[in-house]
Amino acid sequence: MLKWSHDAITERSKACPWRMERLKMAGVLKDNPGFEFLAECWNDDPALQIVVKKLVAKDNGSDEGTSRWMKAAGIAIDEEHYRKVANPKDIDRRTYNSRQHQDYLKPEEVLECEKFRIQDTYGMSVTPELVEQDDGGRLIKNRTYAKTLSNSHSSVTSATSVVRFPLPVRKS
């Protein structure tokens, strides 16, 4: 059965409430649901990706074994994401722009768009290491902000108007 066939989508949507409940119970009971289950949730549903991330981030370190497992699961999930963003086929700007106006993108299309954004931003081939450093666009935002601060002594001009905003004073 194809992953995006009607039957497959229907089957996954029926499994989503059960998976969501199992993830929530794992969080409450500090239970280890298993890497395969987390990976299955991660790959099938963006809503479950959010719950998996919260579950991994919520780990409070009360049980050393669970804590190690949660950290390892978090690292494995992140590495899998970096690899998936670096590996899809290349798309052109026209395809990227048209997808920005679509209501729904398949997960593969989301990854292709993310790869294009990174490649376009940095002007280099996308590797898992670059995806990790990019951190969802935060790297370039921080570099742009730092450059703005270094070029401006006391204020920043808004890009949408001619209004100048004073910079916050740094306390040493």
Is pLDDT of 150 > 60? no
CB distance 84 to 111 below 8 Å: yes
Question: What are the backbone dihedrals phi and psi of residue 164, each rounded to the nearest 5 degrees, phi first?
Answer: -105, 135
Segment 23-33, tens digit of pLDDT: 888 777 777 77
Segment 81-116, tens digit of pLDDT: 899 999 999 999 999 999 999 988 888 899 999 999
Q: 33-42, 44-53, 96-105: which has the highest mean pLDDT?
A: 96-105
Please give the average per-residue pLDDT across 139-162, as a whole number.
58
Is pLDDT of 165 > 60? no
With bands split at pLDDT 50, 70 and 90, how would you rate the model's confidence at 141? confident
Between residues 164 and 135, which one has the greater pLDDT?
A: 135
Segment 6-18, tens digit of pLDDT: 676 667 667 778 8
Distance CA 21, CA 51 (A): 10
Q: Is 4 exposed, middle or buried (0-12, 13-18, 19+ CB in 10 A)?
A: exposed
Contacts of residue 50, defined as CB under 8 A and 6 or more positions apart, other chains included, come to: none
- Kindly report the pTM of this predicted structure: 0.54
